[in-house]
Structure 1
Amino acid sequence: MTVIVNPPSLLHLVSTILLLSSLNLTLAQTTGFSVELIPGDSPKSPFYNPMETTSDRVTNALRRSFSSVGRFKSSFVLTEWAQSDITVGSGEYLMNISIGTPAFDTVAIVDTASDLIWTQCKPCSQCSQQVAPLFDPNQSSTYQLITCNASQCKNLFQTTCSSNNSCQYSINYPDDSYSNGDLAFDTITLATTTSPTVSVLEIVIGCGHNNGGPSKERNSGVIGLGGGELSLISQIGSPIAGKFSYCLLPTSEKNESSKLNFGSNAIVSGDGVVSTPLIKLSSPTFYFLNLEAISVGNKRINYTDVSFGKPGEGNIIIDLGTTLILFPSGIYWELESAVATQINATRVQGPEGLSLFYDAKTEFVIPNITMHFTGADVKLQRLNTFFMVLDTVTCFAFGSFRQHSVYGNLAQINFLIGYDIEKKTVSFKPTDCSKN
């Protein structure tokens, strides 16, 4: 049995971007469902490499964090609609989806800092050369409108185009990854964990027929959960009431999967829940929070970064696709000093990119670290603040990167984290995610 969901109208998007027929306006009643969220280095992942060592996975995670954060540059935020990082490695999460009718099964990276849903497709051949800019050229848009011959353009699913008009997209990423292809309407089906499958009709997806970069063999696609019009959250719309949540398992739980919840299943409530405003700035894609301070034991470090906007208006992005917690250098070094002062252990060398490592052969006590978001104090556990890079070496999970701040997924482990787009809040609840 399959539950069918028609997304709300994208008339503005259709008329100004796709120039295709309007969507079905019929909406299903608000519903809730959950899907499996697979860690990229789990044996359940099609990209799992049993030959990789812990050190290899850490190296991948560090590369992942420092390359992905480049997409948050203000110039990039203002000019790109569809953003994602297509390098698969430690620290990423995957989701199984089916596209088209009959359905074609595939797997893609889940990314809260992306909008576009895209997957690998075969090239669209012998298309018309009539090309026109989609937006004002002064906006430096990478999108172009192209007109194709429907009988000649076939995608991965061997079906002809449903319209003579299609929209071409082109995305370039800081780590030199890229995806180019055509936007189209199709049906996607999600395999839920406890209920019938859910199909979303007439959803806008990207068929990438020219993709590449550092991990070209692994760039199967992206499922964007960002705040823009093209994301899965926005396109499903009213049936899930703008709600989604997830509970990330510790990295040691390699044979288990986390859950990604939608609609009524995504409500975060009960004892211990704290909520903070969800702030939208220059880009509709990214989820900004406002961090007021960080406490290390009894020492409070006021957080004054305004690289994304004005004081109190959002200064850190919460991102499922970045591994580390990244701060501008000045704030990071003050934080590291406060942590190191309160730890009685032997410092050692570790992988390049981070600086605070300890010999883990002997157990030691770490100070309590609390993130003071506006209206929400989030007390981190040891697994959120330190992680093993070798069998005998543990590393501080915070890093320094230029001017921007990102709240990565290590800090989110064993928290049920809920996004409510309509109420504009993000909620945190300490949770044993293995039991959630």
Structure 2
Amino acid sequence: MSSSLGFVNAKMLFCLCVTLVFQPHFTYSTANRTGLTLKAYVDDSPGSSLYRIQDLSVAERIERLINVSNARANYLYQMLSPDGTILPDNIRVPILRDGAYYAVTFTMGSRGHRVKLLLDTGSGLIWTQCLPCINCFNQRLPIYDSRASTTYATLPCSHPMCNGDRTVFSCVNNRCVYQYGYLGGASTAGVVSTEDFIFYTDESHMQTFENVIFGCGNDNRNIFFQNTAVSGIFGLNFAPESMMQQFAALTRSRFSYCLVPFTEAVPNTLLLKFGQDIPELPPHAESTLFVQRTGNDHFFLELLDISVGDYRLGLPPSAFQFRGGGEGGCIFDSGSLFTIMDSNSVGVNVYERVMQVIRAYYGSKGLSAIRTRAGGFDLCYNRPPNFNDFASITFHFNGADYSVPGEYNVVFDQRTICIPILKGPLTTIIGAVHQQNKRLVYDGMFGELQFADENCQNDR
């Protein structure tokens, strides 16, 4: 499908990897005592991973992105299954094989050791490699040595996170430890610890967060961001061990971002905002409650129906209901590049139904479908000159309609358009492709997702 994939250049590829990609120069600023902003700059220099993948053809890049989205979905499915073998956390291992990631960098400990951690809104634990190692992978920055820091301490087994009703840690030989296994055989294990994290508030001022709980990983196997500067994970979901929840008094258990459209040649700075740093939403903003699932910190939403253009599909209530074995439901996940529709829901194949209506829409416009290569999108069309009449999609949530303009429901160039929706067997996942130019606020205090249209290029 090489002729249908010319719409992506290397910089656009970066945008497609939107919450998974970057080697940033990072600053951490505070607007006031109850707000924080993480600011990251894109690095597409010759030494960056983005620059190196330019050796791939355009078709190969897109195929990899699709494979990444499918791998991400499969991983989430295994996490959701009560019979799954993956322990409750997340690492985007498949993406890291392409060297594509977002990371935050700061210093930790009394000696100001610099670390760079993968930014992950889908997990809670913060962890980094630590000396002395049992097994450690190669990393470009020196490995943190807990023995060299006077502010380092281990978390006592009496701590609620190690000795409570809901704990992701365990006490072994009077030490609070963690052990996570991941898709593809990756794993990390070590001692649950506390340390000071120091973030730059601007070029010359710093702010210290004392006694941050993190995993001091000394046994890390088959981790695929080896040979990069990244040494671990910066967890950011609603789990109690995440950075957002550990400092809930400061963050108010809220964070927000706004994703620059994929079609922008170079994305603006990504700002991840916390607490009172989150801008006030406009009067037309909408919100929908997260659906809580026992022992799960993903952002599930109650999806009721879908519209393509002005046509509402009228899906049955069973289409997005939870099923046994962790199946069903709808996850809002910026870590998935493309949206994935459930093809195995009760009473209707959601994926096939949505694609059927999309085919009817573009067929009514006189567009001709084209064959796609294996590993590509299922549905692409020849694009007539100056054709921009793309179909909008609306996700009808409980209490809110989440409308996505047509230009964000396709990936296209002058000759071809493709529909960036993939088939999934278990759960519907609304990915980054459908989050462009939206102000999204994840509010853990009120348990809801708030959203409004916004020009993300103006985010400051």
- Normalised by the shorter chain, which TM-score bucket? 0.7 to 0.9
Q: Contact 1:4/1:200 (CA < 8 Å) preserved in 2? A: no
Alpha-carbon distance, 1:213 to partner: 4.4
Name 2:395's counterpart in structure 1.
371
2:128, 2:414 → 1: CA distance? 37
Q: Contact 2:390/2:409 (CA < 8 Å) preserved in 1? A: no
2:242, 2:85 → 1: CA distance? 17
Alpha-carbon distance, 1:167 to partner: 3.3
**How far does the alpha carbon of each residue in 1:122-176 deviate from its partner, in whole angstroms, 9 at most, with x for none?**
44459xxxxxxxxxxxxxxxxxxxxxxxxxx973784376349643322222344
2:40, 2:84 → 1: CA distance? 27
Name 1:420's counterpart in structure 2.
443
Alpha-carbon distance, 1:202 to partner: 0.7
**1:357-396 alignment, distance < 5 Å:** 357-360=380-383, 362-364=385-387, 365-388=389-412, 392-396=415-419
Q: Alignment partner for residue 345 of structure 1, among 367, 375, 387?
A: 367
Q: Contact 1:35/1:192 (CA < 8 Å) preserved in 2? A: no
TM-score normalized with structure 1 length: 0.76
Alpha-carbon distance, 1:46 to partner: 4.5
Query: Aligned pair in 2 of structure 1 residues 96, 307: CA closer, same or farther (>3 Å)?
Result: farther
Q: Alignment partner for residue 59 of structure 1, among 58, 63, 86?
A: 63
TM-score normalized with structure 2 length: 0.73
Name 1:141's counterpart in structure 2.
none
AA partner of residue 72 (structure 2): S
Query: Aligned pair in 2 of structure 1 residues 255, 272: CA closer, same or farther (>3 Å)?
Result: same
AA partner of residue 153 (structure 2): S
**1:33-432 alignment, distance < 5 Å:** 33-37=36-40, 46-52=48-54, 53=56, 54-69=58-73, 70-72=75-77, 73-75=80-82, 80-86=87-93, 87-88=95-96, 89=98, 92-124=101-133, 155=145, 158-159=148-149, 162-163=153-154, 166-192=175-201, 197-209=206-218, 210-218=220-228, 220-251=231-262, 252-254=264-266, 256-303=268-315, 304-306=318-320, 308=322, 315-329=329-343, 330-343=349-362, 344-348=366-370, 349-350=372-373, 352=375, 354-360=377-383, 362-364=385-387, 365-388=389-412, 392-432=415-455
Alpha-carbon distance, 1:228 to partner: 1.0
Query: Aligned pair in 2 of structure 1 residues 44, 300: CA closer, same or farther (>3 Å)?
Result: farther
Name 1:22's counterpart in structure 2.
none
Q: Contact 1:92/1:322 (CA < 8 Å) preserved in 2? A: no
Q: CA RMSD in A?
A: 3.5
2:100, 2:431 → 1: CA distance? 9
Q: Contact 2:46/2:52 (CA < 8 Å) preserved in 1? A: no
Q: Contact 1:30/1:263 (CA < 8 Å) preserved in 2? A: no
**How far does the alpha carbon of each residue in 1:27-67 deviate from its partner, in whole angstroms, 9 at most, with x for none?**
xx95112112467x855995323442543432332222211
2:106, 2:433 → 1: CA distance? 25
Any stretches of 5+ residues in structure 1 without a counterpart?
Answer: 6-28, 127-152
1:241, 1:159 → 2: CA distance? 30
**How far does the alpha carbon of each residue in 1:344-401 deviate from its partner, in whole angstroms, 9 at most, with x for none?**
323231451530122347443221211111111111123431124x885432121111
1:176, 1:301 → 2: CA distance? 41
Alpha-carbon distance, 1:184 to partner: 1.3
Query: Aligned pair in 2 of structure 1 residues 229, 282: CA closer, same or farther (>3 Å)?
Result: same
Percent of pairs identical after alignment? Answer: 22
How many residues matched?
A: 382
Partner SS for 2:104: strand
Partner SS for 2:117: strand
1:45, 1:232 → 2: CA distance? 30
AA partner of residue 159 (structure 1): S
Name 1:21's counterpart in structure 2.
none
Any stretches of 5+ residues in structure 2 without a counterpart?
Answer: 1-26, 136-142, 157-173, 344-348
AA partner of residue 357 (structure 1): C
1:114, 1:197 → 2: CA distance? 26
Q: Contact 1:280/1:288 (CA < 8 Å) preserved in 2? A: yes
**How far does the alpha carbon of each residue in 1:70-119 deviate from its partner, in whole angstroms, 9 at most, with x for none?**
23432278973332223335985333333323333333322222111122
1:3, 1:91 → 2: CA distance? 22
